[in-house]
Amino acid sequence: MISPKDKAVLLKFLPNDDILTQCMHCGMCLATCPTYELTKLERSSPRGRIKLIKYVAEGKLELSNLFAEEMNFCLDCQACETACPAGVQYGKMVESARVVIEHSNVGSSKINKVIKKFLLNSVVAKHSRLKLLARFLYFYQNFGIRTIAIKLLSIFPFAKKMIEIESLTPKISKVFSSEGLKEITFPENPSKYKIAFSTGCIMDIAFAEINFDTVDVLQKNQCEIITPKNQVCCGSLHAHNGEIEKAKELAKKNLDIFSEFEYDFLISNSAGCGAFMKEYIHLFVDDPQYSEKARGFSIRVKDISEFLANIEPNKQMSPLEEKVTYHDACHLCHSQKVMEEPRKVLQQIPGLNFIPLEESTWCCGSAGIYNVTRHDDAEKILERKMKNLQETGADVVVTGNPGCIGQLKHGIEKYGLKMEVLHTISLVKKSMDRNI
């Protein structure tokens, strides 16, 4: 039977019975679940996983490696939440099950758990260390070392997978956005909106240009932009990977830092971060010290496309003739329910030839760090996305999340497509730049 220690963890972290009972197992989620589509096994489906979590919570099923495997196999794409008419909070359940797994003896080996914990809690969570690592990576990627390393490694057959995963490492930016951006950027025209800008961690070091583009477009749309220097990781990667305590610690830091500024909206251009920052309000609902702060914070969080779609935009844009398609990042469409807005923003670009993407809301397999921790599964998920992308015949695929950008670039290279991957805001910027 379950050990007393495990039981204590279960009861502390698993959601309450009302949340677990809400699933009436009608099965409407099955058709939207990428992992169920792969295995066709109920245990890889949302309703199957919920049932397993419920059995564990009731002490009728022991924590097992298979249980851990299914919880970690889940992409946490939350497509099932969009499909669920009953409003079941699946993400909450699976994330809490992961916390329990991280505290237990099941799942990946102790050493793997320690490495993952170290990377998440001591590197990603400490932005200075992440930047240091990024500097090394930049050096590695840009001074011929990478080329030599790959050549050397490719001699060994066992290193094939390593090289494949290595190729997923995002290309590190020369100048990090946290260093290239001023703490306050004033607009070109009189200021109408006061914006706080969340730079994100991966965005900052690997997609700095997207951050520069974001600030640039905001600046041209009458925004005064505050970019707090000491902001930290939002904690979403931690929360999705069973490190909820660390996630809360980071969230509190951000709440304190941003509360020193006054702003109308807090803009994020990373779907995963935006989704989690909107969650702060629920995360601290019972915390007397932070609940008010979290409320004030979360209600102001807007994805960049959400903000742009709801203002009178700067119309100084010139035509772009590319064929463009749009991939919905899970954390934008399923978690934040932001679907119309990015499309509206794209349609404001004159001359744009927009081609809808079949199954645009189907996960690309990036899913945070899933494409690294579960590379083989992610590759299978990616295959379906690539097939649909190829059918559009588009020149550019636009999306709103750094993880998706990386994964799509990897897929395009792997499948030999001729397609550029851009963030929504970068395409807007491109159209604005041509005007000059």
Partner 1 sequence: MQPSILEKIKKVVGSKHYYDSPEDRISYSFDGTPMLQQLPEAVVFPQNNEQISELLHLANKEKFAIIPRGAGTGLSGGSIPVENSIVVVMTKWNKLLEIDSANLTALVEPGIVTGVLQKEVEKLGLFYPPDPGSMNVCTIGGNVAENAGGLRGLKYGVTKNYVLGVEMILPTGEFLKIGGKSVKDVAGYNLKDIVIGSEGTLGIFTKILLKLIPLPTKSKTITANFKKIIDSGKSVADIISSQITPSMVEFLDNTTMNCVEDYTKIGLDRNSEAMLLIEVDGRGSSVDEDAETIVSILKKNNAVQIRIAENAAEALLLKTARRSAFSALARRKPTTILEDATVPRSELPVMIEKVREAASNFNVAIGNFGHAGDGNLHPTCLTDERDSAEITRAHKAFAFIFNEAIKLGGTITGEHGTGLAKKDFLESAVGKEGIEFMKKIKMVVDPNNVLNPGKILTLAPRCEGALPVKREQIPDYNAHH
Coil, helix or strand for 77?
A: coil
Hey, which residues between 134 and 173 contact partner 1 (CB under 8 A)?
Answer: none
176 binds partner 1 (CB under 8 A): no
User: Under the criterion CB under 8 A, does residue 285 sit at the interface with partner 1?
Assistant: no
CA–CA gap between residue 114 and residue 59 (Å, rounded): 27
Out of 16, 144, 155, 288, the residue judged to bind partner 1 by CB under 8 A: 16
> At closest approach, how far in Å is the CB of 389 from partner 1?
20
Does the footprint of partner 1 cover residue 18 (CB under 8 A)? yes
Measured from the CB of residue 376, what is the shortest distance to partner 1 in angstroms?
17
Measured CA to CA in angstroms, residue 381 lies from 363, 391, 401 at distances of 7, 17, 17
Query: Does the footprint of partner 1 cover residue 11 (CB under 8 A)?
Result: yes
Q: Tokens for 262, please give them.
A: 């006054």
- Does 336 engage in binding with partner 1 (CB under 8 A)? no
User: At closest approach, how far in Å is the CB of 44 from partner 1?
Assistant: 9
Q: Which residues pair with 324 in a beta bridge?
A: 354, 396
Question: Which ranges of 74-176 would DSSP assign to H, the alpha helix?
Answer: 79-83, 90-102, 110-118, 127-142, 145-153, 160-166
Q: Of 6-14, 105-113, 119-127, 129-137, which part binds partner 1 (CB under 8 A)?
A: 6-14
Q: In the 8-state DSSP scheme, what is residue 406?
A: H
How many Å apart are CA 317 and CA 436, to the nearest integer? 9
Q: Which of 6, 34, 57, 279 binds partner 1 (CB under 8 A)?
A: 57
DSSP string, 326-370: EPPPHIIIIIS---HHHHHHHHTSTT-EE-PPTTTTS--S-TTTH
- The CA distance from 422 to 305, in Å, is 14
Q: Which of 3, 5, 26, 347 binds partner 1 (CB under 8 A)?
A: 26
Q: Which residues contact 410 (CB under 8 A, 6 or more apart)?
A: 167, 168, 371, 382
- Say how many residues touch partner 1, by CB under 8 A: 41
In the complex, least distance from residue 57 CB atom to partner 1, rounded to whole angstroms: 7
Q: Does 380 bind partner 1 (CB under 8 A)?
A: no
Q: Is 55 in the site for partner 1 (CB under 8 A)?
A: yes
Minimal distance in Å, beta carbon 288 to partner 1? 18
Residues 58-87 interacting with partner 1 (rule: CB under 8 A): 58-62, 64, 66-67, 70, 84-87
User: What's the farthest any 2 CA atoms get from each other in the chain?
Assistant: 70
- Given candidates 3, 5, 24, 292, which one binds partner 1 under the rule CB under 8 A? 24
Q: Which residues here bind partner 1, judged by CB under 8 A?
A: 7-8, 11-12, 16-18, 21-28, 30-31, 40-43, 45, 48, 51-52, 55, 57-62, 64, 66-67, 70, 84-88
